[in-house]
Amino acid sequence: MASMNPWKTGVTLAVTLAMTYTICAIVYALAPERGIDFLNALFHGLDFRKLVAAGPFTFLTFVYPLLVFVVWGFLVGALYAWLHNVFHGVGNR
């Protein structure tokens, strides 16, 4: 099996999460009710209306979660690639 580069895999997952989160945030900003309906359908009817923030959707409420997703995605992607290499006996240990 081919070795996975933890740095590249981490960056790939971080960028993927940033892109998908941005698309989701745009949809929610433009049509909040439709966004909530989509989440409810995606999570088998769990009612996300109970979790709607009391305040408006602002730039800060977009950027803070985006940063969390990017950091978390990088760490998870890098860990995934490192574990893949360890379990498959390939790459640097």
Residue range 39-58: average pLDDT? Answer: 85
Q: Does residue 38 have a pLDDT over 50?
A: yes
Alpha-carbon distance of 87 to 83, in angstroms, equals 6
- What Rg do the C-alpha atoms of the chain give, in angstroms? 17
Q: Does residue 93 have a pLDDT over 60?
A: no
The answer for residues whose C-beta is within 8 angstroms of residue 91's C-beta and 6 or more apart is 3, 4, 5, 85
Residue 70 near residue 78 (C-beta atoms within 8 A): no
How remote is the C-alpha of 22 from its chain's centroid? 10
Residue range 57-70: average pLDDT? Answer: 93
Alpha-carbon distance of 41 to 70, in angstroms, equals 25
Tokens representing 69 are: 């997703």
Domain ranges of the chain: 6-88
More confident residue, 13 or 51: 13
pLDDT one-digit tens code per residue, 16-29: 999 999 998 998 88
- Return the amino acid letter for 87: F
Alpha-carbon distance of 59 to 44, in angstroms, equals 29
Average pLDDT along the chain: 90
